[in-house]
Amino acid sequence: MVVGPYLRRRQARSVAPRAEEGDRSSAARLEEAVGLARAIDLDVVEEGLALLNDIRPATYLGKGKVDELGAIAKGHEVEIVVMDCALSPVQQRNLEKAWGAKVLDRTGLILEIFGRRARTREGSLQVEHAHLTYQKSRLVRSWTHLERQRGGFGFLGGPGESQLETDRRLIEERIAKIERELEGVKKTRKLHRDSRKRVPYPIVALVGYTNAGKSTLFNCLTRADVVAADMLFATLDPTLRAITLPHGAKAILSDTVGFISDLPTMLVAAFRATLEEVIEADVILHVRDATHEDTGAQAHDVEEVLRALDIDPNDNARLVEVWNKIDRLNPDARAQMENVAERRGDNRPVLVSALNGEGLDALLDTIAGRLAQHRVMIDLVLDPADGAGVSWLHRNSEVMAKDMDEHGKLAMTVRVEPDKAARVKAKFGI
């Protein structure tokens, strides 16, 4: 069985069943599913909730709904239908046949997102591991009496029992191999982190729920810098980009996979592995849709995940809450929110609109402030003819001030990471 990305940029229709229990409304759940579909570049042409009385073993949905959606799918020439639920292989196949479109269930969709976002070797391995575990569970589940009744026409295009056994064994072998590799990768992880630290810029990571506005904020903050963006990062990965902060310091902004409600258990490890940058980040921006009815519950979930990554959500030096979408508030609601924000003191969130750019200057100032907390200021006097020295400082430090003094010398004030201070001092003999 080939495991890998199996989607291309296509049209999709997203369908969510009525949400089961929990504190999230069906509409919010549908919105999340649409956000997830967009995260893999699907162009969502239709979305809707399918109300269910009971789940049909063969097609999940009832006949009327299957026909109705089939007509819509044909009308829009839809290529992919996302079902925000767990489908059995039989249900998936029957729906694909009925609709003439590929059907992706929730786990499949999330796996696709993680597959695209995994940046590290460990991340890719974890995603592949999750994918194989998913496949394996489907092989087991497809071998039901239902399959047999249908003449053994199974998930793999008609395998007999021995074929299923072979596939199962192959998958198990591959899983075992990945587990061994993962052990090795984990051991060298620390080494990687150490070399990563040599990237000359601090890392600022965006975290938050799906649809909170991370990607919009990411684009907004990096747009002005597209040309200036460090080419290495610009080409390496579309979710890592350099930004310039006030005073000219550079940082790398990292967009992440959003937090997902009811993450299937088998995906938890893969999800964590896609969050490597967050663990390493110097500053973490927790982006919240401040206008969302579930904003409190969402923030709570995000904090839980951060804790699971050994990040203290109350570490104000490192974490900044960004309350997004304030453009949607009326003046009263906004004033009230500003009040609440003000009262949080040190832990004050920054209110922004990633859509219209409001508050972004304040956000950049806050980021620069957090990054500067542990940095050292150094005053230097240079010969104005020392062009190489001046450009070295521009490359290796933040130049806070540069003036000609009364003796015709160049007085510079620079700010550096503590571990670089000695190097700067040695180089300029102070």
Ligand X SMILES: Nc1nc2c(ncn2[C@@H]2O[C@H](COP(=O)(O)OP(=O)(O)O)[C@@H](O)[C@H]2O)c(=O)[nH]1
The residues binding ligand X (CB under 6 A) are 35, 208, 210-216, 258, 324-325, 327-328, 353-355
Binds 142, which of ligand X, Mg ion, none (CB < 5 to 8 A, cut-off by type)? none
Nearest Cα residue to 253 out of 344, 327, 354, 113: 354
Q: How far is the CB of 326 from ligand X (least distance, A)?
A: 7
**425 alpha-carbon distance from chain centroid:** 39
Question: What minimum distance in Å lies between the beta carbon of 417 and ligand X?
Answer: 30
Binding site partner of 213, from Mg ion, ligand X, none, Cβ cut-off 5-8 A by kind: ligand X
- Subset of 74-133 contacting Mg ion (CB under 5 A): none
Are the beta carbons of 345 and 384 closer than 8 angstroms?
Answer: no
To ligand X, the closest distance from the beta carbon of 328 in angstroms equals 5
Of 368, 375, 373, 374, which is closest to residue 415 (Cα–Cα)?
Answer: 375
How many angstroms separate the CA atoms of 180 and 153, rounded?
34
Q: Which is nearer to Mg ion, 159 or 258 (CB)?
A: 258
- Which sign does the torsion angle of CA 52, 55, 60, 66 carry? negative
Nearest to 398, CA basis, from 415, 413, 381, 411: 415
Of 1-9, 13-21, 59-67, 213-221, the segment contacting Mg ion by CB under 5 A is: 213-221
Taking CB positions, which residue lies at the least distance from Mg ion? 215
Query: What's CA 262's distance to the chain center, in Å?
Result: 16
Residue 45 or 355: the one with the smaller Cβ distance to ligand X is 355
89 binds, options ligand X, Mg ion, none, Cβ within 5 to 8 A by partner type: none
CB of 217 to Mg ion, least distance (A): 9
CA–CA separation, 316 and 373 (whole Å): 11
Q: Does residue 274 interact with Mg ion by CB under 5 A?
A: no
By beta-carbon proximity to ligand X, the closer residue of 355 and 377 is 355
Please choose which of Mg ion, ligand X, none residue 212 contacts, taking the beta carbon within 5 to 8 angstroms, the exact cut-off set by kind.
ligand X
Beta carbons within 10 angstroms of residue 313's beta carbon: 18
Residue pair 211/328 in contact (Cβ under 8 Å)? The answer is no
As measured in angstroms, the least distance from the Cβ of 350 to ligand X is 12
298 binds Mg ion (CB under 5 A): no
Q: Confirm or reject binding of residue 256 to Mg ion (CB under 5 A).
A: no
Output 212 or 378, the one with its CB closest to ligand X: 212
Looking from the CA of 303 toward its CB, the CA atoms found within 13 Å total 14
Which CB, 136 or 214, lies closer to Mg ion? 214
User: How many CB atoms lie under 10 A from the CB of residue 47?
Assistant: 17
- Closest residue to ligand X in the complex (CB): 213
CB of 52 to ligand X, least distance (A): 26
User: Which positions ≥6 away from 187 have C-beta within 8 Å?
Assistant: none
Please tell me the distance from the alpha carbon of residue 4 to that of residue 9, in angstroms, as a whole number: 15
Angle, helices 63-75/89-99, rounded to nearest 10 degrees: 50
353 binds, among Mg ion, ligand X, none (CB under 5 to 8 A by kind): ligand X
Shortest reach from residue 337's CB to ligand X, in Å: 13
From CA 337, how far away is CA 323, in angstroms rounded? Answer: 9
> Which residue's CB is nearer to ligand X, number 206 or number 393?
206
Of 32 and 398, the one with the shorter C-beta distance to ligand X is: 32
Helix (H, G, I), strand (E, B) or coil at 351: strand
324 is in the binding site of which of Mg ion, ligand X, none (Cβ under 5 to 8 A by kind)?
ligand X
We find the least distance from the C-beta atom of residue 239 to ligand X, in angstroms, to be 10
Please identify, using beta-carbon distances, which residue of 138 and 286 lies nearer to ligand X. Answer: 286
Report how far residue 107's alpha carbon sits from residue 387's, in angstroms, rounded to the nearest whole number: 57
- Residue 254 interacts with Mg ion (CB under 5 A)? no
Min. distance of Cβ 211 from ligand X in angstroms?
Answer: 4
Whichever of 212 and 414 has its CB closer to ligand X, that residue is: 212
Is 215 a binding residue for Mg ion by CB under 5 A? The answer is yes
Cα 218 to Cα 224, 240, 418, distances in angstroms: 11, 9, 28
Q: Which is nearer to ligand X, 274 or 324 (CB)?
A: 324
Residue 120 CA to its chain's centroid (Å):
14
- Minimal distance, residue 215 CB to ligand X, in Å: 3
Binding site for Mg ion (CB under 5 A): 214-215
